[in-house]
Structure 1
Amino acid sequence: MQFMLIMRDEDAAAVERRDAPFEAMLERMGRYNRAMADAGVLVSAQGLASPGTGIVVDFSADPPLVTDGPYGETKELCNGFWVIDVPSRDAAVEWASRAPLGPGTKLELRRVHGEEDLRR
């Protein structure tokens, strides 16, 4: 089963990571991603551009209203994600717990529906 690990930062954590040594962060993330790839569980991993560069398409109007982002409060925004394919929820939690992230950052785990879910 697949899970998406969605990374969210509190504002202070985002600032701290922005000011941290980039090469060290890149090395830690690289080791984590390689471990998942070597274990055969990594499907996809991407970081996202800053929320200020986003676009919001709001469907509460007809036609939809298009504005520059970000959408919602910054603490609600996704900074990046991984998609992993693991045998269980517990395995997804184990991989998420190993992420090289610090205080003020959270990973939300959401199961990705598979074909079997669409046939119900």
Structure 2
Amino acid sequence: MRVIVFVKATVDSEKGTPPSIDMLEAMGKFNDELVKAGIMQPGVGDGLKPSSHGKRIAFEGPGRTVIDGPFAETRELVAGFWLWDVKDMDEAVAWVKRCPNPMPGPSEIEIRPLYEMADFEAWGIHV
């Protein structure tokens, strides 16, 4: 089962506050453990710059509108991500519980499964 693991943004991450050296070292160690366990391939997880550096493209029929960051609702934004291959959601939760707190204060991590070919086949869609 493939999952994407989102580190949710905070006021600090949206300000562009750099992580401490201790945090970088702890995350590096955690990422090494994920790779050694076969949960993550090297290079498929990283931090994101604040939303002020980003853009959104809104779709309305054939029209496209570009929206410049920063974006509102910091708690709904993503500050980083990993792409993992786990046996089930319980294994993903267990790994996240081992993760160092990715922010200086309170923070959240969200786990979302990716669609697999079997999901489409269950809907009767053969790609």
TM-score range, shorter chain: 0.7 to 0.9
Bigger share in strand: 1
Aligned letter for 2:28?
G
Matched residues in 2 for 1:100 and 1:18: separation?
A: 17
Residue aligning to 2:85? 85
**Which residue identity is paired with 1:99?**
C
Structure 2, gaps ≥5 residues long: 123-127
RMSD: 2.2
Fraction of identical pairs, as percent = 30
Pairwise CA distance, 1:10: 3.0
Size of the aligned set, in residue pairs, is 118
- Distance 1:62-1:115 versus aligned 2 partners, 3 A rule: closer
Aligned position for 2:125: none
Residues in 2 aligned to 1:15 and 1:76: alpha-carbon distance in whole angstroms:
11
Query: After TM superposition, what 4+ stretches of structure 1 lie above 3 angstroms from structure 2?
Result: 13-17
Structure 1 unaligned spans of 5+: none
Per the alignment, do residues 28 and 19 of structure 1 end up closer, same or farther by CA in structure 2, a change over 3 Å counting? same
Amino acid at match of 1:118: F
How many angstroms apart in 1 are the aligned matches of 2:59 and 2:109? 27
